[in-house]
Structure 1
Amino acid sequence: MADIHVFRAHGLGLARAREIAFSWAEEVEQRYGMACTIHEGEDSDTVEFVRSGVKGSLEVTGESFEMEATLGMLLGAFKANIESEIERGLDALLAKEAAASAAEPSKAAKRRRS
């Protein structure tokens, strides 16, 4: 068996991080046939995911995403590729969010224009 651990810090806050995690869960359900269960908490959420050959969780807080996954013997042979794909996907989501935040004018700038 092969284990994957991916950690990414962010400054999105829990509400926005939660939205991204829910979107991620929907995508992996459709794209990879994962079964996802979301456990919402006060300070963090956990997305548990499972399918043949893989089981894991994504811990979501207002400051970070942390994924732990265990791959079965067959998928373990592709650990490096799977881990890279997870990292690329998470980095793309965070980059998209950063770009969207940068494109929004600040509240102060909006007030100055009024």
Structure 2
Amino acid sequence: MARIDIHHPHTLAPDRARQSVQEVADKLTERFGVDCRWDGDTLHFTRSGIEGCIALLPDQLHVTADLGFLFGAMKGPIEAELRRVLSERFS
């Protein structure tokens, strides 16, 4: 199983950061068909072959995802897209 583990700094106010994480989740839903739910300041996402979360911390985001066999083969492009979107929204 492939694993993605990204720490990305941010300086956004908590409400704005949460809104931006939701926008990232909306992109994940659109692109990969994941189901998302909030648990406190952590957004969990899942679908067959993908399970992960985005933890919203005061000065950084921590994104983790476990990718099953099929998505594991696309780990590089998925991780690159996540990094790109995070940079757009949180830099």
- Superposition TM-score, scaled by structure 1 size: 0.74
Q: State the Cα distance separating 1:73 from its structure 2 match.
A: 0.9
Cross-structure match for 1:51 = 47
User: How big is the shift at 1:63?
Assistant: 0.9
Structure 2 letter corresponding to 1:73: F
| Greater strand proportion | 2
Identity score, percent = 34
Identify the residue that residue 37 of structure 2 maps to in structure 1: 37
Gaps of 5+ in 1: 96-114
Residue ranges of structure 2 left out of the alignment (5+ in a row): none
Deviates more, 1:47-56 or 1:27-36: 27-36
In angstroms, what is the RMSD of aligned CA positions? 1.2
Query: In the alignment, is the contact (CA less than 8 A) between 2:54 and 2:61 conserved in 1?
Result: yes
Matches within 5 A, 1:1-114: 1-40=1-40, 45-95=41-91
1:27 positional shift = 2.4
Q: How far did 1:80 drift?
A: 1.2
Would the aligned equivalents of 1:15 and 1:62 in 2 still touch at CA under 8 Å? no
Count the aligned residue pairs. 91
* Larger proportion of helix: 1
Q: Distance in 1 between matches of 2:71 and 2:33?
A: 15
